[in-house]
Structure 1
Amino acid sequence: MNGLNKGVGKVEVTLKWDPSPLGAPAHDLDIIAGVYTADDPYGQPAYLVHFDSRSPDGTITLNRDSRTGQGFGYDEAMTFELDRLAPTYTRVVVGVPIQQGGGRRTFGDIANAGFRIREGHVDLAQEDFTPYSDATAVTVVEFSRDGTGGWEYRLVGRGFDTDPQSFTTLMGAQHA
């Protein structure tokens, strides 16, 4: 994953995966968004959006939250109205951790896991998690303001081996 693309406004990030085998604990993947200020773009997020919630100003909303991966197509969805986000916020990092309630699981343990980024009816990106088979969490996309105040996105694809709570403190850190 890489590349930089400019001029996005209202974007949806969706997540899919196959349910766990019969009798096995359910696979639960989550979309998490960390929102960062211009004063601290690589520090701790100003706030997080995850687990059936929305941002304080309503610009980022988790619309669908699946705990099993059951259903057709994309099971979990988060909407970003970047063009409405206050100028104080200059960076949004989106990541996907795997809940570890039934024992340690990696993306290699979960069949057909992937994500899609759309603006309207146009797919901006569609990837799977195959390159991150040893990871328990992955950052997938970073949205950032450009010099004119518009938004651009960059696929980041960075794997982590950590629990979901720790991931929220690491996902926006600057990487080499």
Structure 2
Amino acid sequence: MNGLNKGIRKVEVSLKWDPSPAGQPPTDLDIVAATYPAADPSGDPAYVVHFDSRSPDGTITLNRDSRTGQGFGWDEVMTVELNRLDSRYGRVVIGVAIQQEASPRTFGDVGKPALRIREDYTVLTEDDFASVRGSTAAVVAEFVRDGSGSWSFLPGLRGHDEDPATFARVMGAPRAS
């Protein structure tokens, strides 16, 4: 490892969307983060962070949660402090799920959804979910720790069609080759 390369240290995952049209049920998108043990990075998550929760050690925090998409700027914001994450964890998967309580919705049904992941002021990725418009949930990023302890970012959206609870269990499945 290059002594000057510290890898990804702390990221901010931001999500926004337009509120539902008048008379329609609210649209609720949620950022979900799953942390996996280094010994089994594609197995069951050690823990999952979503609305109304945070990681046991405080390294993953949902700073802003919206149930409607109403607000100024980014409606949901999650901070992931990879540099503080215990060495027993080797992978963090970030996803976005659409709550399906009011009526079934896909990303194509959501008004102007947008995603931004950044480290400090450096934007790592931005997306509008167009490539997964028929899905109800999507993996939006993975962070993987290498043998030296440095974290790297693996971008790319992968659509899923599960409800939020099922999605939280399966979102860490290995990428298809």
Which TM-score bucket, shorter chain as reference? over 0.9
Cα shift at 1:156: 2.8
Q: Where in structure 1 do 4 or more consecutive aligned residues deviate above 3 Å?
A: none
Other structure's SS at 1:124 match: strand
Matches within 5 A, 1:1-150: 7-150=7-150
Tell me, in whole angstroms, the C-alpha distance in 2 between the residues paired with 1:102 and 1:172. Answer: 27
Tell me, in whole angstroms, the C-alpha distance in 2 between the residues paired with 1:9 and 1:162. Answer: 30
Counterpart residue number, 2:160:
160
Tell me, in whole angstroms, the C-alpha distance in 2 between the residues paired with 1:172 and 1:156. Answer: 13
Other structure's SS at 1:113 match: strand
Amino acid of the residue matched to residue 161 of structure 2?
Answer: D
Amino acid of the residue matched to residue 114 of structure 1?
Answer: A
Any idea what the Cα deviations from partners look like across 1:140-159, whole Å, max 9, x if unmatched?
00001022101011113110
Aligned CA RMSD, in angstroms, stands at: 1.0
TM-score by length of 1: 0.94
Other structure's SS at 2:42 match: coil
Amino acid of the residue matched to residue 155 of structure 1?
Answer: P
Name stretches of at least 5 consecutive residues in structure 1 with no aligned partner: 1-5
Tell me, in whole angstroms, the C-alpha distance in 2 between the residues paired with 1:8 and 1:39. Answer: 21
Name stretches of at least 5 consecutive residues in structure 2 with no aligned partner: 1-5
Any idea what the Cα deviations from partners look like across 1:73-93, whole Å, max 9, x if unmatched?
211000011000000000000
Other structure's SS at 2:127 match: strand
Tell me, in whole angstroms, the C-alpha distance in 1 between the residues paired with 2:147 and 2:88. Answer: 14
Cα shift at 1:34: 0.4
Amino acid of the residue matched to residue 9 of structure 2?
Answer: G
Any idea what the Cα deviations from partners look like across 1:55-111, whole Å, max 9, x if unmatched?
000000000000000112211000011000000000000000000011210000001
Tell me, in whole angstroms, the C-alpha distance in 1 between the residues paired with 2:29 and 2:160. Answer: 14
Cα shift at 1:175: 2.4
Contact in 2 for aligned 1:82/1:151 (Cα 8 Å): yes
Amino acid of the residue matched to residue 160 of structure 1?
Answer: H
Contact in 2 for aligned 1:20/1:27 (Cα 8 Å): yes
How many equivalent pairs are there? 171
Tell me, in whole angstroms, the C-alpha distance in 2 between the residues paired with 1:114 and 1:103. Answer: 21
Counterpart residue number, 1:3:
none
TM-score by length of 2: 0.94
